[in-house]
Structure 1
Amino acid sequence: MSTSPESSPKRAEPAGRHFEPDLRSMTRINLRPIASPMPVGFFAVAIASIIVGSMQLGFFGDDAHRAVALTILPAFLLQMIVSILAFGARDVLAATLMACFSGTWLASSLVLALDPPAGAKVLGVLNLVFAVFAFLMATVAQRKRVMWFVLCVAVPRFAVAALFNLTGATWLGYVSGALGLLLAGVAMYAAFALMLEDMRGQEVLPIGRRGPAYDAVEGDLTVQLRNLERQAGVRRTL
Structure 2
Amino acid sequence: MSTTPAAEPAEGPGSGSGRRFEPDLRPMTRINLRPIASPMPLGFFTVAIASVMTGCLQLGVLDTPDRRAVALCVLPAFALQLLVSVLAFGARDVIAATLMGTFAGSWLAYALVMGSGASGGPEVLGVYNLAFLCFGALMAAVTRPKRALWLVLVVSLPRWAATALAGLTGTEWLTRTAGGLGILVALVSAYAAFALMLEDMRSEEVLPIGRSGPAHHAVEGDLAVQLRNLERQAGVRRTL
**Residue from 194, 198, 201 that aligns with 2:200:** 198
CA 1:28–1:213: 2 relative to 1, 3 Å: closer
Aligned partner letter, 2:115 = A
1:78 maps to 80
Structure 2 segments unaligned to the other structure (5+ residues): 1-6, 10-27
Q: Distance in 2 between matches of 1:31 and 1:74?
A: 33
1:117 maps to 119
Q: Can you list the C-alpha shifts for 1:80-132, whole angstroms capped at 9, x where unaligned?
A: 00001111111111111101110000000000000112221111111111111
Q: Distance in 2 between matches of 1:83 and 1:142?
A: 19
1:52 maps to 54
Q: Distance in 1 between matches of 2:154 and 2:32?
A: 33
Aligned partner letter, 1:24 = E
Say which one has the larger Rg: 1
2:8 maps to 24
Task: Give the number of equivalent residue pairs.
Answer: 215
**Residue from 218, 221, 224 that aligns with 1:219:** 221
Taking the TM superposition and a 5 Å limit, the aligned residue runs for 1:135-150 are: 135-150=137-152
Aligned partner letter, 2:61 = F
Aligned partner letter, 2:110 = S
Q: CA deviation at 1:30?
A: 6.2
SS at match of 2:180: helix
Q: CA deviation at 1:229?
A: 2.1
Q: Distance in 2 between matches of 1:111 and 1:234?
A: 41
Please, which moves more after superposition, 178-187 or 129-138? 129-138
SS at match of 2:65: coil
SS at match of 2:64: coil
Q: Distance in 2 between matches of 1:119 and 1:31?
A: 48
Q: Distance in 1 between matches of 2:138 and 2:32?
A: 30
Q: Distance in 1 between matches of 2:91 and 2:97?
A: 9
Aligned partner letter, 1:228 = L
Q: Distance in 2 between matches of 1:114 and 1:28?
A: 53
1:170 aligns with 2:154: no
Taking the TM superposition and a 5 Å limit, the aligned residue runs for 1:87-126 are: 87-126=89-128
CA 1:128–1:29: 2 relative to 1, 3 Å: farther
Q: Can you list the C-alpha shifts for 1:180-222, whole angstroms capped at 9, x where unaligned?
A: 0000000000000000000000000000011110000011222
CA 1:207–1:110: 2 relative to 1, 3 Å: same
Q: Distance in 2 between matches of 1:128 and 1:234?
A: 37
Q: Compute the RMSD of aligned alpha carbons.
A: 1.5
Aligned partner letter, 1:80 = L
Alignment TM-score, normalising by the size of structure 2: 0.86
SS at match of 2:208: coil
SS at match of 1:24: coil
Aligned partner letter, 1:167 = T
Query: Percentage identity across aligned positions?
Result: 60
Structure 1 segments unaligned to the other structure (5+ residues): 1-22
Alignment TM-score, normalising by the size of structure 1: 0.87
